[in-house]
Amino acid sequence: MMLGGMDGKEYGALHAAAAAAGYAMEADPNASAMGNPGMGGGAQQYGEVNQLGGVFVNGRPLPNAVRLRIVELAQLGIRPCDISRQLRVSHGCVSKILARYHETGSILPGAIGGSKPRVTTPKVVSYIKQLKAKDPGIFAWEIRDRLLADGVCDKYNVPSVSSISRILRNKLGGALYPVPPLYPVPPQRCWPLHQPYDYYVYLQGRQHAASAQHLPHAHVPPPPHHAHAHAL
DNA sequence: TGCGTTACGGTTGAC
DNA sequence: TTGTCAACCGTAACG
């Protein structure tokens, strides 16, 4: 099937994204819950009904097929409000999915759940131990600077001063290695706030790792150019 | 009327 | 095993 207004390349890319998403209705626990027109949905299993009469599962992403359909219809030049009515998905949701598609090139929902990757890896801890052994009076923030300067960590995964302090206290033993006061402490920021896209990619990879194993390769959306423009 | 934004109640998964 | 936390979700409502 070829869609008007969309060349083969675009359409192929769209479906590649869907394929990478798993796009297996059977594999999606929500898929059969969608009894909406145009969704290819099966029998209603569970879920709530929105104002448009569409079925959704609160807290769970729309099935990939529906997400794909939204993008397809938009590519055909159909207005978001019409897509919303046709698929019985709230216009806010349509707007969100299209905005994400335009930004990342992916129809995939974000990774739900999980927590950020650990920054205090064994390598980092061992390096901190070395620094502390060489200079027992070193400040936590100095250690942090050294981790950056020596390339052990980058600005996105360097532990916070308080984390370093905790490592010194817990893993090195406060009695043996008295921890100097943290002050003066240079300004710092927390990891997820200034580099959300890295985390997005990390979680997305993690979440889809299982399903992507038997796919040629997962679709990795291009980094949004302003991913952290308003993240702070 | 169309649409971007946001509060809300919910789910998820690592720690 | 259980609870917490911080990410995500879609809907509904507002401007």
**Which of A35-39, A96-100, A174-178 reaches the highest mean pLDDT?**
A96-100
Please state whether strand B lies within 7 Å of residue A95 at its CB atom: yes
Model pLDDT, residue A80: 92
Model pLDDT, residue A173: 56
Average pLDDT on A174-193 reads 37
Please state whether strand B lies within 7 Å of residue A98 at its CB atom: yes
Average pLDDT on A191-219 reads 39
The fold for domain A49-104 equals: Arc Repressor Mutant, subunit A (1.10.10)
**Structural domain boundaries in chain A:** 49-104, 122-169
User: Hey, do A49-104 and A122-169 end up sharing a CATH topology, with the first three levels equal?
Assistant: yes
Which has the closest alpha carbon to A50: A42, A38, A62, A40? A62
Distance between CA atoms of residues A198 and A207, nearest Å: 14
Distance A224 CA to C3 C1' (A): 35
Model pLDDT, residue A32: 37
CA atoms within 13 A of residue A84's CA, in its CB half-sphere:
15
Share of chain A above pLDDT 90, in %: 16
Query: Of residues A50 and A167, which shows the higher confidence score?
Result: A50
Query: Of residues A100 and A213, which shows the higher confidence score?
Result: A100
- Closest nucleotide over all strands to A57 (CA to C1'): C10
Bases in strand B with any atom closer than 7 Å to a protein CB: 1-7, 9-15
Q: What is the CATH number of domain A122-169?
A: 1.10.10.10
Q: Are A189 and A72 in contact (CB under 8 A)?
A: no
User: A3 is written with which tokens?
Assistant: 């869609």
Distance A174 CA to C4 C1' (A): 28
